[in-house]
Amino acid sequence: MAHATFTAEGQNMESFRLLSGHKIPAVGLGTWRSGSQATHAVVTALVEGGYRHIDTAWEYGDQKEVGQGIKRAMHAGLERRDLFVTSKLWCTELSPERVRPALQNTLKELQLEYLDLYLIHWPFRLREGASRPPKAGDVLDFDMEGVWREMEKLAKDNLVRNIGVCNFTVTKLNKLLGFAELIPSVCQSVILGTQMEMHPGWRNDTMLELCKKNHIHVTAYSPLGSQEGGRDLIHDQTVDRIAKKLNKTPGQVLVKWGIQRGTSVIPKSLNPDRIKENIKVFDWVIPEQDFQALNSIPDQKRVLDGEDLFVNKTEGPYRTVADLWDHED
Ligand code: NDP
Ligand code: 1BO
């Protein structure tokens, strides 16, 4: 359930409570492929748009720019404790001894003392310098338990407030739940957050239900259908019809749909007007009938299937996209 927690630009802003007790703001700014423009986008989001949640990753190559944006926003009066910053551990760092140095590098790039959420970016380990698509030997064995123990240590040392994963399947999440430590006070696993692709073109209901059952908060990535090569949900007939009916934009309807499903949502934009538009999703709801229409959009399909990154059709552990997703889709 979303809670109204603070206001900015005169609107109530909602957040979700993680099992740790920390709150994650319902809308965050995505920064994948934001490059050198990330600083401006982050400043616009935090200072003008009222965002308090920023998503980045080492792989995006923009952590320094994101950090500069956060710093400027703090000079403008924002407090670190009011921000929720997420970053991710890249696939080349998925061995126990590389976890802490990778996080330390991320903190340095972001100029931060701690992260609010640190996620395993993908559950596949890559050799440093791996090609896209991978050559033979580029995809290595992944010691999930060893890496997770190091993630838990980062949380215990207060370098990260919450830890989690992205792009997991039911099979992989159940494996992780089998050895993840419990939070004694609530007897629940210490996996506190996860990011998965979710939008009306790829609802991924099964993973959402599994996470809810295990009190793991889900952040929906690519909520608008992603970027070039993605799915154009902005011009989807159903989305457009509902947007016109509610006097909202398609982007706002897509963001709101994610929040009404109980997920936080991280739309990416470099355009100041769209950054501000995408967070104006509070103080109104998508009526049930329209919500169900969005839940019925056909041709359910992932945009980010990982093929380029991890599939080698002739050699290595993953020969098909279905292999990556444990044949669950
Ligand atoms: P989104 O679904 O957020 O879509 C972004 C695209 O939509 C951009 O082309 C943007 O263009 C455009 N756009 C933004 N707002 C609007 C609007 N209101 N109307 C019309 N077009 C709009 O794509 P992403 O794939 O980037 O996903 C969002 C974020 O999720 C990422 O940036 C990243 O932070 C995270 N992510 C995490 C992953 C993971 O593995 N954990 C994987 C993928 C994404 P413009 O900039 O010109 O506005
Ligand atoms: C390759 C990174 C996908 C976006 O998180």
Checking DSSP bridges between strand 139-140 and strand 117-120, what pairing results, if any? unpaired
pLDDT at position 5 is: 46
42/70 Cα distance (integer angstroms): 7
Question: What is the three-class DSSP state of 107?
Answer: helix
| pLDDT of amino acid 11 | 55
* Tokens coding 77: 């009066």
Within 10 angstroms of residue 114's Cβ, the number of other Cβ atoms is 16
55: enclosing H helix or E strand? strand 53-55
- Report, as ranges of residue numbers, the positions in the chain whose pLDDT lies below 50: 4-10
Q: Tabulate helix, strand, coil % of the chain (nearest 5).
A: 40, 20, 40
Q: Whole-angstrom Cα distance, residue 63 to residue 38?
A: 9
* Phi, psi dihedral angles at 168 (to 5 degrees): -90, 160
Please count the residues of the chain. 329
pLDDT of residue 7: 46
pLDDT at residue 189 in the model = 76
ipTM value for the complex:
0.99
pLDDT on residue 307: 98
Q: If you take atom 29 of ligand 1, which residue's CA is the nearest one? A: 30
Give the pLDDT confidence score for residue 88 in this predicted structure.
Answer: 98
Q: Tell which residue, 246, 87, 72, has the closest CA to residue 255.
A: 246
Output the residue whose Cα is nearest ligand 2's atom 2: 59
Q: Quick one: pLDDT at residue 6?
A: 45
Give the binding-site residues of ligand 1, using a 6 Å CB cut-off: 30-32, 55, 121, 166-167, 195, 221-227, 234, 249, 251, 266-271, 274, 277-278, 304
